[in-house]
Amino acid sequence: MKEIQSVYGSKIRLIFRNFPLSGHDKAMDAALAAEAAGMQGKFWAMQDQLFSNQSAWAAPTANAEQLWLSYATKIGLNIPQFQADMNGMPARNRVENDKARGQAAGVGSTPTIYINGEAVHHTEYTASGLRRLIDAELQKTAVPAQPVAPSNATGNSSGQ
């Protein structure tokens, strides 16, 4: 997704929604950690930490909360505020609302990607596959060039 963002910039809008799967015992708390970091403007920095270190915090014997605190420290969060936000209702409501939206849309697994409201088949979850689909959507919405009226060489169209 970072590659897609770097290629398209402001031509597209990437919206991330949480969808913690119930089969992953730490998924909800990980989503809360990302949302709590987001309250300090560091959502993507925490997401990067969570995804790149998932094998560490998702391990059955891992102390995930301690690891998330270390990630919060690493990305420069106010730790007491992070802890309060992670345990607060605004972050929980955000995650629960995201999950409800996903369930209403028929999401059953992660990741799930939509482009302009259409689910992308998992075989297209590559940079080249997504670029092809995005390019096709951008072509659909491209504004055709308007013809320019010919200019009058004399500057006077009344014939005087």
User: Which DSSP string corresponds to 17-38?
Assistant: -----TTSTTHHHHHHHHHHHH
Q: Distances in Å between the alpha carbon of 26 and those of 63, 65, 71, 155?
A: 10, 9, 15, 74
Band of pLDDT at residue 155, cut at 50, 70 and 90: very low
Residues of the chain with pLDDT > 90, as a percent, come to 77
Q: What is the mean pLDDT of residues 24-38?
A: 96
Q: What is the mean pLDDT of residues 64-78?
A: 97
Q: Which of 11-15, 104-108, 127-131 has the highest mean pLDDT?
A: 127-131
Band of pLDDT at residue 150, cut at 50, 70 and 90: low
**38 domain residue, yes or no:** yes
- Total tally of structural domains belonging to the chain: 1
**155 domain residue, yes or no:** no
Residues of the chain with pLDDT > 70, as a percent, come to 89
**153 domain residue, yes or no:** no
**159 domain residue, yes or no:** no
Tell me, what's the pLDDT at 1? 87
Domain span at residue 103?
2-138
Query: Cα separation of 105 and 120, whole Å?
Result: 13
**160 domain residue, yes or no:** no
Tell me, what's the pLDDT at 142? 76
**145 domain residue, yes or no:** no
Band of pLDDT at residue 59, cut at 50, 70 and 90: very high
Band of pLDDT at residue 108, cut at 50, 70 and 90: confident
In this predicted structure, the answer to whether residue 145 has a pLDDT above a threshold of 70 is no
**156 domain residue, yes or no:** no
Give the pTM: 0.79
Tell me, what's the pLDDT at 55? 94
> What CATH number is given to the structural domain containing 36?
3.40.30.10
**146 domain residue, yes or no:** no
Looking at beta carbons, which pairs linking 89-98 to residues 24 or more positions away fall under 8 Å?
90/35, 90/39, 91/32, 91/35, 91/36, 91/39, 92/32, 94/18, 94/35, 95/18, 95/20, 95/28, 95/31, 95/32, 95/35, 98/17, 98/18, 98/19, 98/31
